[in-house]
Chains A and B, each alone.
Chain A
């Protein structure tokens, strides 16, 4: 595994970004397929094939392009570009903080896309997406702060090669991050703005007015985002790459399990529970670290 690190280090930043750009949607699509198959098996159904998310996206690209207004797809393209940018920054070993802020900007463009049409369902979805963003954003920044406290660097390349296990220093931050991962993966009980499951949503939430290619781009962006978030889980266990890969996949399976077992929360409960968890697990972990160092 260390030889893989050496190979990656021998590449230039642009090459690393290109590899991420090409491989992340494949990994993200397969993960989405496993998600759908596993969800179906947990519900006692047979489920679609694992390649199904790719079929869906290819089909959506063949559908007719319907625009409500000419600004509608503009924020969605920016949402895609900034998510890919933050993922590429992360996997090329650049600043973790910049990757997180770029991801937040991508989320903002998605919300603007929801507000750019006049459908009340889309507006409701966008408002809920805003609430979700307010719920998870403090915890995502605390992840970067905690990692800086332990390793003394915001650079992903240096955090990944830190010898001491980060998870032992940051158990609270990790627990808080797994909590908000449920929101980021759009899993129940926090799938307020856009659900993967049929008929749980006011029409289709924030994606109501997007059809064909725009919807396909939203789906592919979601794959990129998932790969990036699992990469952040990887960093907590980076002292042992094999353990780290198992832990990232374990976190993903855990989120699917939570998705199947919970009914949706109201937005009030989503908001205060995630802030409470951020305060109790994340902030207290960081205060303790301050006294230890």
Chain B
């Protein structure tokens, strides 16, 4: 059994968001919503994080940073796309510098809709991400048992280019 459901640590990255969704992510930490009652900590350090919450569409500048952050997170890890821009690019998808949603760059596990996403739906999305984290841990353990020499370092089922 994994302990990821009980203590998921979150990393929040703003990839060209308008700050609407960022404010809602921060609002989850306030006494009204209090994310910490689920054991969730907003770490601000990719090496400590289990969940990467991305707000805003991905552009040419933030693409490399986003990949870098994801690579620095230890396995198992999940990505949550918070808000419509992170899902598809929304109204910015035709801009010359915008790539689109987060799933153009990283394997997204949970999509949290809304413009901006409500704190309730963000908390719901993060808790769903915890379940996926548990599944990934179980898969990783299985893969390790069947082939102990295989590198756990590699990304699971995802190619960067």
Residues of A participating in the B interface, judged by any CB pair closer than 8 Å? 36, 40, 43-49, 52, 55-56, 58-59, 62-66, 198-199, 201, 203-204, 207-212, 215
Query: Which single member of A55, A59, A62, A64 contacts B153 (CB below 8 Å)?
Result: A64
**Known contacts A46-B37, A65-B74; is-contact A58 B31 (Cβ 8 Å):** no
Q: Please, which residue of chain B has its CB at the minimum distance from the CB of A46?
A: B37
The DSSP consensus for interface residues of chain A is loop
Residues of B participating in the A interface, judged by any CB pair closer than 8 Å? 2-4, 6-7, 29, 31, 34, 36-39, 41-45, 47-48, 50, 72, 74-76, 137, 152-153
Query: Which single member of A36, A52, A56, A62 contacts B2 (CB below 8 Å)?
Result: A62
Cα–Cα distance between A45 and B43 once the two chains are bound (Å): 18
Cα–Cα distance between A47 and B42 once the two chains are bound (Å): 14
Flag if A59 contacts B6 (CB, 8 Å).
Answer: yes
**Known contacts A45-B36, A199-B42, A211-B47; is-contact A63 B31 (Cβ 8 Å):** no
How near does chain A come to B31, taking the closest CB pair, in angstroms? 4
Flag if B41 contacts A198 (CB, 8 Å).
Answer: yes
Cα–Cα distance between A47 and B6 once the two chains are bound (Å): 13
**Known contacts A43-B31, A59-B6; is-contact A64 B74 (Cβ 8 Å):** yes
Q: Please, which residue of chain B has its CB at the minimum distance from the CB of A61?
A: B3
The A/B interface has a contact count, at CB < 8 Å, of 79
Q: Please, which residue of chain A has its CB at the minimum distance from the CB of B47?
A: A211
Flag if B39 contacts A55 (CB, 8 Å).
Answer: yes
- Given A59-B50, A199-B42, A210-B47, 9 other A-B contacts at CB below 8 A? A36-B36, A40-B34, A55-B3, A58-B7, A59-B3, A59-B6, A64-B75, A204-B48, A208-B47
**Known contacts A198-B41, A199-B42, A204-B48; is-contact A47 B36 (Cβ 8 Å):** yes
Flag if B48 contacts A215 (CB, 8 Å).
Answer: yes
Cα–Cα distance between A62 and B76 once the two chains are bound (Å): 9
7 A-B residue pairs with CB within 8 Å: A47-B37, A63-B76, A66-B74, A199-B44, A207-B48, A209-B47, A212-B74
Flag if B42 contacts A66 (CB, 8 Å).
Answer: no
Cα–Cα distance between A97 and B38 once the two chains are bound (Å): 42
Q: Please, which residue of chain B has its CB at the minimum distance from the CB of A51?
A: B6
